[in-house]
Structure 1
Amino acid sequence: MKFTRRDVIASACALAATGFGAAAQAASDYPAKTIELIVPVAAGGGTDLVGRAFAEASKKYLPQQPMVVINKPGASGAIGTAELINAKPDGYKIGIIICEVTIIPNLGITKYTAADLRPIARLNADPSAVTVRADAPWQTIDEFLADARKRKDPMPIGNAGMGSIWHMAAAAFAEKTSVKVNHVPVLGAAPAVVALLGGHVDAITVSPGEVAQHVAAGKLRTLAVMSDQRVGGIFEKVPTLKERGVDLTVGVWRGLAVPKATPADIVQTLSEVARKAADDAVFRDALSKASLGWAYADAAAFQTVIDKDRAFYAALVPKLELNKP
């Protein structure tokens, strides 16, 4: 059979229309199968807890279609975030993004930036905190700083990997207080806590929620938080660095995002799920019990936070020389 150019064009248009119709139908039926939620850090830390609490709370708003958490740790969240960016934009692979997405591009660790993602909602925000073992000789942040300044060797401080927010916090802390620090990277906040408990580092700068269990058990002691106000709860007696004369505020945020090209109707569905799940008692209670801060913000407000941090870290990272030990 002989085909004319017109036949070929007509066939191509028909196939395109069929594909569009199938995509539209798939979108209208969304979700029709299990949704994977990528968490770009190791299991056990604050980001992992936020992701799992959100997945659990979302069950009520995604009937009969579970959301399963897939941990993809490494490179300060870069591995999991890259997988999310490169995922098929059909709503079946979504992810938790962390503020590192505004930090690590400045270190040359990744080629992508936060602009390669579409934010859905911010779910949580927490400050950094300086925490040591309970049997450490420092009872206050002032004693810790005095000792660090006298030491010949740098103070070993654990973080969640090169370019992580907790690495940023430790580096900014060292720069602001004029102390020498040996940054010890691990795969996340949870491994950093293990390193501290095991005596492999002298301090860590993860969030209060990520050490709360061990602080409550009397194994760790938090000396200061990097926030404008005290955290409260079991940390209500812990001063802010600003109270001790150190003008430094550093913290993490965690939110939901999808690949940039995700269709608008799927984005709308996920936005509604995020709004409802974030306000659900299941999610709020899980964060409260873990001493993690509830901080829901819709896509527009979340984008403003992301843009502000992109500018902030673009200016700050070069000053801190984070590539140096």
Structure 2
Amino acid sequence: MSLKRRTALLAGLGALALLQAPAALAQDYPARPIELVVPYPAGGGTDAVARAFADSLRKHLPQSVVVANKTGAGGAIGLTEVMAARPDGYKVGVGTVEMTMLPHLGTARFTAQDFVPIALLNAEPSAITVHANAPWRTVEDFLAHAKAYPDKVRVGNSGVGAIWHLAAEQLGRKSGVSFMHVPYAGANPAINDLMGGHIEAVTVSPAEVAQHVAGGKLRLLAVMADQRVKRFPEVPTLKEKGIDVSISTWRGIVAPKRTPQPVVDTLRAASQKAANEAEFRDALAKLDLTHAYADAPAFQKVIERDNAFFKQLMGELGIAK
């Protein structure tokens, strides 16, 4: 055999090996522990969902699932690490609604298209919450007061461009009200200031105020959802009141783009079983969090919907980059 033909043959065999390598690796997947990156600190809602899910997922995979908190930049650091990881299924992440927001703020290297959805696990709507001693018994009363005093009603949020800030902005736009938006380092400091009487309202999720509402310290006026929340069936939706606002945060499992399809399929199958484990559902219920499982195709539609929505909203608010 000539040197030229031998070189060509070796090159062809090398190319074939490269094509077969991902399939071979996927066939043995997972052969070692999987790292689940949480882009927010330990102890928060996203971390709690991740750890409860990891416990259930271990039952349906031959390898362990290790939770790693990679925090900072509003979730951008952890999500960037997942985006840049080798697409082999050994580093996946908890994707949150911020995947569809941070890119439009210009604070992230990634876009929503840089991730492969595996499973949606949880979703929580925004809600309008006031102090229990506030004079407003209904959302109509609250908005009427805000209209009478433009830019005077202080609404706490977790920073400009964060999900609950945008929820309050959209509420104002749809109801013809102008609020004074007060940023905090997170939902808890805002809630503490609401209980202390330093602000008039917050637009965080019902789960984040549930204990204080149950304890008689705070009052829920309405939720920004298509349906009422099971935990508070007496609280109306804004849509019931004629205000077309539905904004939620969500949490799910995502993998880096170009992850081999057999690996994605393995993760999807295991995630479906784990998400429907009674222990996982119970863990969410104890935290007043909503179980909202959806497989990859439906999860992808949620991502695409919110990516388009927040791009437009941030542009209209003048905060998109």
State the TM-score, normalizing by the size of structure 1. Answer: 0.84
Provide the C-alpha distance between the structure 2 equivalents of 1:22 and 1:250, rounded to a whole number of angstroms. 43
Query: Which residue does the alignment assign to 1:89?
Result: 87
Query: Which residue does the alignment assign to 2:177?
Result: 179
Provide the C-alpha distance between the structure 1 equivalents of 2:152 and 2:18, rounded to a whole number of angstroms. 60
Is there any run of 5+ residues in structure 1 with no aligned partner, and where? none
SS of residue matched to 2:116: strand
Deviation at 1:22, TM superposition (A): 6.3
SS of residue matched to 2:52: helix
Query: Which residue does the alignment assign to 1:58?
Result: 57
SS of residue matched to 1:162: coil
Per mean C-alpha deviation after superposition, the further-off stretch among 142-151 and 289-298 is 142-151
Provide the C-alpha distance between the structure 1 equivalents of 2:166 and 2:141, rounded to a whole number of angstroms. 22
8 A Cα contact 1:76 1:188, kept in partner: no
Provide the C-alpha distance between the structure 1 equivalents of 2:41 and 2:195, rounded to a whole number of angstroms. 17
Cα distance change, pair 152–314 in 1 and its aligned pair in 2 (3 A): closer
Deviation at 1:260, TM superposition (A): 0.1
Deviation at 1:230, TM superposition (A): 1.6
1:200-259: CA deviation from partner (whole Å, max 9, x where unpaired)? 5432212112222232233332221012322133x1221222333422221222221100
Query: Which residue does the alignment assign to 1:299?
Result: 296
SS of residue matched to 1:230: coil
Provide the C-alpha distance between the structure 2 equivalents of 1:184 and 1:80, rounded to a whole number of angstroms. 26
Is there any run of 5+ residues in structure 2 with no aligned partner, and where? none
8 A Cα contact 2:80 2:109, kept in partner: no
Provide the C-alpha distance between the structure 2 equivalents of 1:38 and 1:195, rounded to a whole number of angstroms. 31
8 A Cα contact 1:45 1:188, kept in partner: no
Cα distance change, pair 68–162 in 1 and its aligned pair in 2 (3 A): farther
8 A Cα contact 2:100 2:303, kept in partner: yes
Amino acid at match of 2:304: D
Query: Which residue does the alignment assign to 1:32?
Result: 31
Identical counterparts, % of pairs: 53
User: Which 4+ residue blocks in structure 1 deviate beyond 6 angstroms?
Assistant: 4-22
Structural mapping, 1:211-222, within 5 Å: 211-222=209-220
SS of residue matched to 2:300: helix
State the TM-score, normalizing by the size of structure 2. Answer: 0.85
1:70-98: CA deviation from partner (whole Å, max 9, x where unpaired)? 23344443222222111121212111112
Per mean C-alpha deviation after superposition, the further-off stretch among 24-33 and 246-255 is 24-33
Cα distance change, pair 280–12 in 1 and its aligned pair in 2 (3 A): same
Query: Which residue does the alignment assign to 1:115?
Result: 113
Query: Which residue does the alignment assign to 1:48?
Result: 47
